[in-house]
Homo-oligomer: A and B are copies of this chain.
Amino acid sequence: MVSQDMSDMTPREVRQAIREGKWTGPTAGMAPEFVQANLVIVPSDWAFDLLLFSQRNPRPCPLLEVTEPGDPEPRELAAGSDIRTDLPRYRVYRDGVLAEEPTDIRDLWRDDLVSFLIGCSFTFEGALMDAGVPVRHVEMGVNVPMYITSVPCRPAGRLKGQVVMSMRPIPAVMIARAVSTTALFPAVHGAPLHVGEPGMIGIEDLSRPDFGDPVEIREGEIPVFWGCGVTPQAALMASKPPFAITHSPGHMFLTDRKDREYSVF
* One of B48, B54, B66, B183 near A264 (C-beta < 8 A): B183
Task: Determine whether the beta carbon of A68 is less than 8 Å from that of B157.
Answer: yes
Min CB–CB distance A2 → chain B (angstroms): 32
Neighbour of A55 across the interface among B63, B154, B186, B191, CB < 8 A: B63
Measured between beta carbons, the chain B residues less than 8 angstroms from A54 are: 55
Cβ–Cβ < 8 Å partners of A190 in chain B:
264
Residue A100 is within 8 A (CB to CB) of chain B in the complex: no
Chain A contact-residue range equals 20 to 34
Specify which of B63, B76, B264 is in contact with A186 (CB 8 Å cutoff).
B264
A156 at the interface (CB under 8 A from B): yes
| CB-CB contacts below 8 Å: A134-171 with B | 154, 156-157
- A239: CB under 8 A from chain B? no
Minimum C-beta distance from A55 to chain B (A): 6
Within 8 A of B (CB), among A62-76: 63, 65-66, 68, 76
A55 to B190, CA, bound (A): 17
Q: A residues engaging B (CB < 8 A)?
A: 44, 47-48, 51-52, 54-56, 63, 65-66, 68, 76, 154, 156-157, 180, 183-184, 186-187, 190-191, 264-265
- 18 more contacts with CB within 8 A, not counting A48-B48, A51-B51, A51-B52, are A44-B48, A47-B48, A52-B66, A54-B55, A55-B55, A55-B63, A55-B66, A56-B76, A68-B156, A68-B157, A76-B154, A180-B265, A183-B264, A184-B264, A186-B187, A186-B264, A190-B264, A191-B264
